[in-house]
Each structure stands twice: as C-alpha cells, then as structure tokens.
Amino acid sequence: MSTTNSYPKWPTFVLFGDSITQYSFSEDGCWGALLTDHLQRKCDVLNRGFSGYNSRWCKIMLPKIITADTAKNVAGVTLFLGANDSNAGDTNPRQHVPLSEFKQNMADIIEYLQSVGIAREKIIMISPPAYNIDAWRVECDKKGKPCSKTAENTQKYAASCVELCKETGIWSVDLHSEMLKNENWKEMLNDGLHLSTIGSRLLFKLLQPIVDKLTSGLPMNYPLWDEVDYENPNSSLQ
C-alpha cells in the first residue's frame, strides 16, 4: 500500500497555560473540547496545560514544547496564565510571581513564539478569570491550605494581560472583564477559581471569532464521504 500522501501535516492549535488549560477537555472545563470539536478535520488541538504552574516556570518550559520545527505547523496559540502568579507572596511563595515579573515573563513568551516563526497574529492571550473568594476559601479549607488570593490582585494581573496585548499587537481575550458583565458570573466557576461549564462556554464564545479568522483558510482534511470516488478510492484518498 502506498504511503504517499499529498495532504500536508495537520496544522496544530496549541493551548498553553495552567490548570484551566489542563482541565479544558474535562466535563466542566470544556472550552478546549469545544474548540477541538469546532476545528475537527482542520486542526489538531494540543493541550499543553500544567496545573499549578506559573509564568516563570512556563517560560522555561516553552522552548521544549514549541520548537522552531514544530512551530512551522502552528495555526494558533492560546496563552492562559496568571491565576497562579497572582497568589500572595507571603502565603504562597511557591506559585506567586510579582506583577512586574509576570508581565515581563508573558512578554518573553510572546517574543520567543515570534522568534521561532509564529506571527503575532496567531497568538491569543487570555486573561485570568474573575475570582470568587468565598467559594475558593471553602476549597482551601477542605485542603487545609491558606487562601492566598484576592479578587483585587487577580484583577491587576488580568489588566496586565490586556495591556500587554495592546503593546505587542497580539489578540486579547479579557475573560475577567467579560465574566463580570454577567450577574451570574459566580456560576461560571465551579470552585471559585476554575471554570464551570457555563464559564467554559463563555470562553469558547469569546475565542471562536478569533479562531475562525486564524483558520478560515485551512481546508477540511480529506473529502466528505459522499465525495469519495467509491469505485477508485485511491484517487480520492492519496
């Protein structure tokens, strides 16, 4: 059987971030799964989310995740960090990253992506979501850990993301502000921090028009079943 294939490698859409990205294929945090369904037969959506990680660690890891070689096939990248960086330094020094360093780390990540050939038009930054301190405190109490976040601090990190997007010319999805436009925004979180199904659907709704612009020129891989030459399928499926 011939292994020759005239179709190009399937483009990839990379989701890079922390737990909200790692859980994006779960039942609640389903925004990655929704995106995958939306891009079926056009792109492979790669989940590169790391629970608990901050921008400092992710900046170190990124060159091992997206290389100059793999970047050639990237149709788009989402950057979704800040939820862990915004922890208070006195109660959670392991995850905390100062605001100024966070912004610089994100700028460095953007610069790296561009250095390996990913145009800024393909980069989407998502701000950390709004934060429900009451619900998250309950989760922290269950685990016997201090609640090291505040809504005010989270807002500063979200605003920093929006500001950086304006400075660098990449796409911005201000999830934090968009959530707070809704009276039921607390229902968009399943534990005060991570997205519920409602929150995940909002994020997908915000991402979809951008993703559509980035992938509008990509063909669906392989013909529809009723377009295959059933008498000579090799001619259709090379």
Q: For position 3, what pLDDT does the model report?
A: 38
Q: Does pLDDT of 89 surpass 70?
A: yes
Q: Which residues are catalytic?
A: 19, 191, 194
Q: Which residue has the tokens 């399928």?
A: 233
Q: Which two tokens stand for residue 66?
A: 């997206």
What is residue 189's DSSP assignment? B
Q: In the predicted model, what is the mean pLDDT of residues 15-36? A: 97
Residue 161 CB-density burial (10 A; 0-12 exposed, 13-18 middle, 19+ buried): buried
Q: In the predicted model, what is the mean pLDDT of residues 85-89? A: 95
Give CATH for domain 12-237: 3.40.50.1110
- Top pLDDT among 133 and 203 is at 203
* pTM across the whole model: 0.93
Q: For position 22, what pLDDT does the model report?
A: 98
Question: Where residue 8 falls among pLDDT bands split at 50, 70, 90?
Answer: low
Q: Report the distance separating Cα 141 and Cα 123, nearest Å.
A: 37
Question: Where residue 160 falls among pLDDT bands split at 50, 70, 90?
Answer: very high
* Contact in structure between 18 and 54 (CB atoms under 8 Å): yes
Q: pLDDT tens digit string along 167-187?
A: 999 999 999 999 999 999 999
Q: In the predicted model, what is the mean pLDDT of residues 64-86? A: 98
- Contact partners, residue 185, CB within 8 Å, separation at least 6: 130, 179
